[in-house]
Amino acid sequence: MKRRDFLKLSAATTGAALIPVHNLYAQDEKLSPDDPQAKALNYVEESEKEGQRCDNCVHAKGDLESEWVGCNLFPNKQVKASGWCNVWAER
């Protein structure tokens, strides 16, 4: 194998190995109600608003059947499906 080919292969392999690790980390990070941005939006893990939960909010994304879901307002974090914040809007 030529040196140039080896370097290309190494770069491709390293990149491929890092992407899944980064994605797993991002998916696992759960938003804390104590997070400053969460506090600013009055985020709670258990909604007290009837019919308003993160899993039926227009800003929710990902698998909405899960206990934790993605949210456009909190990139790289998961919010609790049963949660709520004051930006909730009907899906």
Closer residue to ligand SF4 in complex, CB, 8/49: 49
Q: Whose Cβ is closer to ligand SF4: residue 10's or residue 42's?
A: 42
Residue 75 C-beta: closest distance to ligand SF4, Å: 11
Neighbour order of strands in the sheet with 68-71: 60-61, 68-71, 78-80
Q: What are the distances in angstroms from CA 44 to CA 7, 30, 53, 68?
A: 49, 12, 10, 13
* Residues of this chain that bind ligand SF4 (CB under 6 A): 43, 54, 57, 59-60, 71, 73, 79, 83-85, 87-88
Nearer to ligand SF4, 20 or 36 (CB): 36
Closest separation between CB of residue 81 and ligand SF4, Å? 9
Which alpha helices (DSSP H) does 1-91 contain, by range?
A: 3-28, 36-40
